[in-house]
Structure 1
Amino acid sequence: MTDPFGIRPAPGPDQPPIPVRLVTFNTHHGVGEDDRHDLPRLAKVLAAADADVICLQEVDRWFGERSEDVDQALLLSRALDMQLAWGPAIDEPHPGDRPRRQYGNALLSRLPILISDVHRLPGTGEPRSALRTMLELDGGTLWVTATHLTTRSAAERAEQVAALAALHTEQMASGVLVGDFNARPDAPELHPLRERFTDAWELAEDRGDQAGWRFWQRDEGHTHPAHSPHRRIDQAWVSAGVTVAEARVLDAEGASDHLPFLVDLRIPSGV
């Protein structure tokens, strides 16, 4: 049995780990490589991944003309029939009685969302945030933190990474930290993550880029830019005890300037 804070006993010898499929994807507010805002196209890509948890960056809610002034987070959650947790980074009032103009991180889940909170990250320029959730599993819990780090400087990313690492305490259950880090996994500013987490791509038993026309980049994990990927900036980091059966880069079908990154996780079960 799991307590409300996700603390649980060590798994018994006869209890198999719990499988969780997770996708992280920078959606570029639903605007694809053809410069068209096409939310149904994006929903189709996400549905094809058949994930239990989907973490999205650069999502708009009533933001403006670039995304047809719609609530992307709510529409995607309804299209996929998944629960929604929302973590704005930009949150501004509209004139009159209109909904607030927001932009940030969204988490869609087939699993029950027990806790959801938003944490502002340090830095200048475009505001950045982290969306932290606790998900209920059949026999355990999983903490998922989704984020999108700054492009301004390595020094500012280092401050943001330190804040992210502090969000997952030793008393928590198994956890995964995902998003667009705007830095390669071995970048010096990501060092605090390596002290507490492991790069899921490196840990995966099976991995590869599955878009066939990128055969020459197999085993690279590159996700950006979508038309000619050569940067591994969309990542998943897992806490101790979490194993990774598979990690794959998916084809975005032109829906964004990034490619989706999928990991099949195995979460230790409770007693």
Structure 2
Amino acid sequence: MTDALGRKPAPGPDQPPIPVRLVTFNTHHGVGDDGRHDLPRLAKVLASVDADLICLQEMDRYFGGRSEDVDQALLLSRALDMDLAWGPAIDEPRGGPGERRQYGNALLSRLPVLVSDVHPLPGGGEPRSALRTMLELDGAALWVTTTHLSSDSPRDRAAQAATLAALHTEPMATGVLVGDFNAEPGAPELSVLRERFTDAWELAGERDDQGGWRFWRHDEGLTHPARRPHKRIDQVWVSPGVTVTRAHVLDSAGASDHLPLVVDLAVTSGV
């Protein structure tokens, strides 16, 4: 049913939750643990997930020889037939007039992208940013923010986390914050996030990872480094109104130095 303007009503309290499958993956600019840049290999891993939303970090756009000087985000979006939102953290001139050399975060989506904006994050060293998007979800909206925090400074991560928390304003009732946080979910510098969001891995009704024979470290959601993961730095945080039915760490088939985290969500409301 639609109104006079052809708009669908927002989900009401009696409507069933809307399922959304999301994956977050630090791609290491498409270079696997064998040292090869292999974008088709990366695309194959992502296609196997059958996700509605794919949040990617460490993506290159005409960055240089390490990624064969291609627009990785555009090529992946075409290969997977998904919409693209792009959020550079490094954005520099290159070559001729108007040409840019970029590196940052990308969102691939089967859901319509209504709004997309990029927010620089504070801190020194390598520039960091957050890609914030508003997606249409059955006539309502789901906010998804993709980011990659500093790798070497807890103080910088604390400032970056505070900026991320401030990006999720009161009208954005239903939202998800994802990415490579370079810190465990319980780290002190992420405390401001815990005031607004909940770690999806802890909420998941069903969990699985790549623990394999290491049964004493099974179901911990470890994603880095890919060959022998012992850190849970790739995370999904959800706001109230988002239920997590399943979370699992996927085998990356050697496509990156991280493992992808796949989360099945059930969104019960949106504005």
Normalised-by-shorter TM-score class:
over 0.9
Q: Is the 8 A contact 1:12 1:270 kept in 2?
A: no
Q: Is the 8 A contact 1:105 1:147 kept in 2?
A: yes
1:267 paired with 2:231, answer: no
> Which region of structure 1 is more displaced relative to structure 2, 261-270 or 42-51?
261-270
Residues 213 and 97 of structure 1: is their aligned pair in 2 closer, same or farther, counting only changes over 3 Å?
Answer: farther
Task: Note the C-alpha offset of 1:9.
Answer: 7.0
Residues 139 and 82 of structure 1: is their aligned pair in 2 closer, same or farther, counting only changes over 3 Å?
Answer: same
Aligned AA (2:140): G
Alignment partner, residue 179 of structure 1: 179
Q: Is the 8 A contact 2:11 2:138 kept in 1?
A: no
Q: Is the 8 A contact 1:211 1:251 kept in 2?
A: no
Task: Give the Cα separation in 1 of the matches to 2:27 and 2:10.
Answer: 38
Task: Give the Cα separation in 1 of the matches to 2:110 and 2:11.
Answer: 25
Alignment partner, residue 255 of structure 2: 255
Task: Note the C-alpha offset of 1:172.
Answer: 1.1
Q: Is the 8 A contact 1:211 1:250 kept in 2?
A: no
Alignment partner, residue 230 of structure 1: 230
Task: Give the Cα separation in 1 of the matches to 2:179 and 2:211.
Answer: 21
Task: Note the C-alpha offset of 1:161.
Answer: 0.2
Alignment partner, residue 143 of structure 1: 143
Task: Give the Cα separation in 2 of the matches to 1:173 and 1:244.
Answer: 16
Task: Give the Cα separation in 2 of the matches to 1:179 and 1:214.
Answer: 25
> Which region of structure 1 is more displaced relative to structure 2, 74-83 or 90-99?
90-99
Q: Is the 8 A contact 2:211 2:219 kept in 1?
A: no
Alignment partner, residue 74 of structure 1: 74
Task: Give the Cα separation in 2 of the matches to 1:178 and 1:78.
Answer: 23
Give the SS at the match of 1:243: strand
Task: Note the C-alpha offset of 1:215.
Answer: 5.0
1:63 paired with 2:70, answer: no
Task: Note the C-alpha offset of 1:214.
Answer: 5.7
Deviations 1:127-175 (A, max 9, x none): 0000000000114210000000001210110000000000001211310
Q: Is the 8 A contact 1:209 1:215 kept in 2?
A: no
Residues 101 and 139 of structure 1: is their aligned pair in 2 closer, same or farther, counting only changes over 3 Å?
Answer: same
Give the SS at the match of 1:33: coil
Give the SS at the match of 1:129: strand
Task: Give the Cα separation in 1 of the matches to 2:105 and 2:71.
Answer: 13
Give the SS at the match of 2:195: helix
Alignment partner, residue 51 of structure 1: 51
Task: Give the Cα separation in 2 of the matches to 1:152 and 1:11.
Answer: 44
Q: Is the 8 A contact 2:10 2:140 kept in 1?
A: no
Q: How many residues align?
A: 265
Residues 9 and 110 of structure 1: is their aligned pair in 2 closer, same or farther, counting only changes over 3 Å?
Answer: closer
1:12 paired with 2:13, answer: yes
- The within-5 A match list for 1:120-135 is 120-135=120-135
Aligned AA (1:20): V
Deviations 1:34-90 (A, max 9, x none): 000000000000000110000000000000000000000000000000000000000
Q: Give the TM-score taking structure 1 as reference length.
A: 0.94
Alignment partner, residue 161 of structure 1: 161
Residues 139 and 37 of structure 1: is their aligned pair in 2 closer, same or farther, counting only changes over 3 Å?
Answer: same
> Which region of structure 1 is more displaced relative to structure 2, 97-106 or 260-269?
97-106
Task: Give the Cα separation in 2 of the matches to 1:226 and 1:256.
Answer: 7
Alignment partner, residue 92 of structure 1: 92
Aligned AA (2:58): E
Alignment partner, residue 34 of structure 1: 34
Task: Give the Cα separation in 2 of the matches to 1:53 and 1:29.
Answer: 19
Give the SS at the match of 1:74: helix
Task: Give the Cα separation in 2 of the matches to 1:70 and 1:132.
Answer: 24
Alignment partner, residue 111 of structure 1: 111
